[in-house]
Amino acid sequence: MIQSEPRPSHQPDRMPTRVGVLAAARSIAEILPPTPLLPVEISGTRCHIKAESLQPIGAFKIRGGWWRLVNLSDEEKTRGVVAVSSGNHAQGVAWAARRLEIGARIVMPRNAPQVKLDATRALGAEIVLYERPGEDRDEVAAALVAESGATLVHAFGDSWVIEGQGSAGVEIAAQLGRAPDRILVCCGGGGLAAGLSLACPDSAIHVVEPHGWDMVGQALEAGEIVRVTDDPPTTICDALQPDATKPINLAVLKDRAEPGVTVTDAEIRTAQRFAFSHCNLVVEPGGAAALAAALAGKVPLTEDTVIMVTGGNCDPARFAETLIGQ
């Protein structure tokens, strides 16, 4: 029997909890095996990689998508869901929607990687394209919700999504046999980082973001939401480009996360090559950010450190160019 939480789904002020994370972990364990926790040596220290790139959709987003959708009421399920994503959240929601027989419409940027667009369509979701930059994706999604009465499944600013992502931390503690002393997390809007902070309350949480897109790190330092500049630098991390975090994520992380860390495109490409050569993992740029910080010595490592490798949905040609150093 698939487990959900016996609470009404429509609770806009609901905050994620550790109890919710544990419930999400039990539900997800019924449908998915744990992803591997791989030993790896970096600069003489043996630590661990959590290989979320090996999920059925190639990313950790399947966790939050599942936990959010399985907690919809029967009436909400009939009206369907709307999500906004550059690709991985799209696939997570589409995968869960297909399994639960729920209609899904996904707002995606026209310039999203083709591999992610194709994979989302293959899972049966309807894709609604918008121009990035130029159009406000949240406005596009809001119009779809108003039109159909569907439930918006936010990629990171949703309490059930946060709890679902945190289920990875429950797996980590079980696999390691203890709580990790620190977790390095690839960070876009902060949903995974917030979930892990609830799952592993005694572990230091290090958020790692692309240079110029460190909206969570800046928000942690300022104590308030910080939006991306009008002219941000380019980044190869298509999965880590939100305009800002959300209040719910900052509320969870503000007293828990360590100061934010940023990485460059060059450091990310180095991490992609390392993951391929040392762990036989295909990792997309956004999924390699935490590993990039570890390899660059930006966060201290111990035997109880866990590095999240969060996605593996690469454009084949670009990944090949990265491997040969172009």
**Domain match, 181 and 319 both:** yes
Q: Are residues 211 and 184 in contact, defined by beta-carbon separation less than 8 angstroms?
A: no
Q: Which domain holds residue 223?
A: 18-60+158-323
Q: Say what the pLDDT of residue 131 is.
A: 87
Asked if residue 2 is part of any domain, the answer here is no
Q: Are residues 183 and 308 in contact, defined by beta-carbon separation less than 8 angstroms?
A: yes
**Domain match, 192 and 264 both:** yes
Q: Return the half-sphere exposure (C-beta side, CA atoms, 13 A cut-off) of residue 231.
A: 0
Q: Of 123, 153, 183, which residue constitutes the final position of a domain?
A: 153
**Domain match, 217 and 310 both:** yes
**Domain match, 44 and 72 both:** no
- Would you call 147 helix, strand, or coil by DSSP? helix
Q: Say what the pLDDT of residue 178 is.
A: 97
Asked if residue 222 is part of any domain, the answer here is yes
The structural domain count of the chain equals: 2
Q: Say what the pLDDT of residue 9 is.
A: 56
CATH number at 135 reads: 3.40.50.1100
Q: Say what the pLDDT of residue 57 is.
A: 97
**Domain match, 306 and 231 both:** yes
Q: Of 153, 179, 214, which residue constitutes the final position of a domain?
A: 153
Angle between helices 159-176 and 61-70 (to 10 degrees): 120
Write the DSSP assignment of 102-135 as a string of letters: --EEEEEETTS-HHHHHHHHHTTPEEEEE-TTTS
Asked if residue 111 is part of any domain, the answer here is yes
**Cα separation, 259 vs 169, whole angstroms:** 20
**Domain match, 51 and 199 both:** yes
Which stretches of the chain are DSSP H helices?
18-29, 61-70, 74-79, 88-100, 114-122, 137-148, 159-176, 191-199, 215-222, 247-253, 265-279, 289-295, 316-323
Asked if residue 67 is part of any domain, the answer here is yes
- pLDDT one digit per residue (tens) for the chain, 326 residues: 566 654 445 577 899 999 999 999 999 999 999 999 999 999 999 999 999 999 999 999 999 999 999 999 999 999 999 999 988 999 999 999 999 999 999 999 888 888 899 999 999 999 999 987 778 888 999 999 999 999 999 999 999 999 999 999 999 999 999 999 999 999 999 999 999 999 999 999 999 999 999 999 999 999 999 999 988 999 999 899 888 999 999 999 999 999 999 999 999 999 999 999 999 999 999 999 999 999 999 999 999 999 999 999 999 999 999 999 86
Q: Are residues 162 and 197 in contact, defined by beta-carbon separation less than 8 angstroms?
A: no
**Domain match, 173 and 252 both:** yes
In the chain, the amino acid numbered 127 is I
Asked if residue 12 is part of any domain, the answer here is no
Q: Say what the pLDDT of residue 6 is.
A: 45
**Domain match, 90 and 50 both:** no
Q: Of 103, 134, 153, which residue constitutes the final position of a domain?
A: 153
**Domain match, 289 and 189 both:** yes
**Cα separation, 238 vs 228, whole angstroms:** 15
Q: Are residues 286 and 318 in contact, defined by beta-carbon separation less than 8 angstroms?
A: no
Query: pTM (2 decimals)?
Result: 0.94
**Cα separation, 6 vs 144, whole angstroms:** 28
Asked if residue 139 is part of any domain, the answer here is yes
Q: Say what the pLDDT of residue 10 is.
A: 58
**Domain match, 196 and 274 both:** yes
Asked if residue 189 is part of any domain, the answer here is yes
Asked if residue 7 is part of any domain, the answer here is no
**Cα separation, 82 vs 100, whole angstroms:** 15
**Domain match, 174 and 243 both:** yes
CA distances from 290 to 203, 235, 298 (A): 16, 15, 10
| Structure tokens that stand for 6 in this block | 């016996």
What does residue 273 show for φ and ψ, rounded to 5 degrees?
-65, -40
**Domain match, 110 and 227 both:** no
| Token pair 């661990």 in the structure block, residue | 48
